[in-house]
Amino acid sequence: MASNAIRPLDHQTYMRLALSEAQKSPPKPTNFCVGAVLVDEGTNTILATGYTLELPGNTHAEQCCLQKHASAHNLPEESVGKALPPDTVIYTTMEPCGKRSPGNTPCVDRILRTKLDGKSGIKKVYIGVTEPEKFAGENVGQTKLKEAGIECIHVPGFEEQILKVATAGHEK
């Protein structure tokens, strides 16, 4: 999916695209509505998009991106790193989760397992907001990513919009 309309390294536009994905997520009191965009930064190509609950199950945005890209390459999601270009990044409206309910792999761990050989895999995570402590307590997502050599970069200017979309369906 070429992104000719988006200039290379236009983080604001990619975050707006992630926010538009988040708006597709069905509001629920037990989830944040999050959007994500998987991008080959080297060629400025969108590899996949995703949003919370897009795919069957209690799926998160980053998980949906990775599952869709893996599926497009006839791979299980656990092996998606084999199909990722060397300059892969992900834009996500909210910091990837570091904890999930039993039976669900946290998004941070999904991102970490894309790094098969130290060369492939997701290199950077562009984040709109840190995850509020509502469901999982303190999120250690960015810390785990940074410890594994994955850059976490805040894209400012969207915090209010992101939190409004993310908490749709929550009691005020």
Domain that holds residue 130: 11-166
**Per-residue pLDDT band at 9 (split at 50, 70, 90):** confident
% of the chain surpassing 90 pLDDT: 70
Query: Three-state DSSP class for 147?
Result: helix
117 belongs to a structural domain:
yes
Is pLDDT of 141 > 70? yes
The residue-averaged pLDDT of 24-53 equals: 94
Instruction: Please provide the average confidence, as pLDDT, over all residues in the chain.
Output: 89
For the entire predicted model, the pTM comes to: 0.92
Note the pLDDT of residue 159: 93
In the set 54, 62, 77, 131, the catalytic residue is 62
Q: What is the CATH number of the domain that holds 152?
A: 3.40.140.10
Residue 2 lies inside a defined structural domain of this protein: no
125 lies in some domain: yes
Higher model confidence: residue 139 or residue 22?
Answer: 22
Give yes or no for residue 10 having a pLDDT over 60: yes
Query: Is 6 within the bounds of a domain?
Result: no
* Residue 165 and residue 33 in contact, taking contact as beta carbons nearer than 8 Å: yes
Domain count, the chain: 1
Residue 117 is predicted with a pLDDT of: 66
CB 92 within 8 A of CB 128: yes
Instruction: Find tokens 């080959």 and name the residue.
Output: 40
Residue 107 has phi, psi (to 5 degrees) of -60, -35
Active site residue 62: yes
Give kind and range of the element (H or E) at residue 109: helix 107-112
Q: Which residues lie below 8 Å from residue 113, measured CB to CB, with a gap of 6+?
A: 78, 81
Give the position of tokens 């991008």. 39
pLDDT tens for each residue of 71-123: 999 999 999 999 999 999 999 999 999 887 777 899 999 999 998 766 679 99
Instruction: Tell me what pLDDT residue 142 has.
Output: 87
Q: Is 26 part of a structural domain of the chain?
A: yes
